[in-house]
Amino acid sequence: MLFPTGQYGEHHPRQSYLAQTLSFGEYIKSRLLNKDSRFCRNHSYFLHYYGLKINKALKTGIYNLFKKRGNVGQTVAEILEKINVLDEEFEGNLSTMLAPIRGTNQYWFRVKGEVKAMIAEYGLPTLFLTLSCAEYD
């Protein structure tokens, strides 16, 4: 058991400054990279928080789909009808829902687009390496 007393979990109140509050991802990272290795060795703990992170990213994608794409106020029946009729625009919007989730095609499509834009703006990446024999005395 990682928290046998039920204290000091994710939602435990902490005395911290406003600038020191941790985001959900930062909390998970701090647990896994902690000096106490119980957290990174427990596969159930790791997979539980991985599932929570994916669910949170999926909820973010759903929120963005319905609030920012002009789908406010639609009923479930109207959405299912759009899916059944094969509305291509709506299906394209549905695919953007998966963009925040790492490992999906939509995520890597967005990342690939960002890399292509950076190459177009700044040019091809180069590596400049200087070695000195004096460094290794």
Instruction: Establish if 113 belongs to a structural domain.
Output: yes
pTM for the model stands at 0.59
- Mean pLDDT score of the chain, rounded to an integer? 79
- Least confident range of 3-7, 39-43, 124-128: 3-7
**Boundaries of domain holding 57:** 42-120
Burial class (CB in 10 A: 0-12, 13-18, 19+), 97: buried
For position 14, what pLDDT does the model report?
A: 63
pLDDT bin (cut points 50, 70, 90) of residue 2 is low
Q: What is the mean pLDDT of residues 84-108?
A: 82
Instruction: Establish if 28 belongs to a structural domain.
Output: no
pLDDT bin (cut points 50, 70, 90) of residue 116 is very high
Instruction: Establish if 136 belongs to a structural domain.
Output: no
| The pLDDT of residue 42 is above 80 | yes
Instruction: Establish if 36 belongs to a structural domain.
Output: no
Structural domains of the chain, count: 1
Q: What is the mean pLDDT of residues 49-60?
A: 87
Instruction: Establish if 85 belongs to a structural domain.
Output: yes
Instruction: Establish if 77 belongs to a structural domain.
Output: yes
Instruction: Establish if 50 belongs to a structural domain.
Output: yes
For position 83, what pLDDT does the model report?
A: 77
Name the residue with higher pLDDT: 23 or 70: 23
Instruction: Establish if 5 belongs to a structural domain.
Output: no
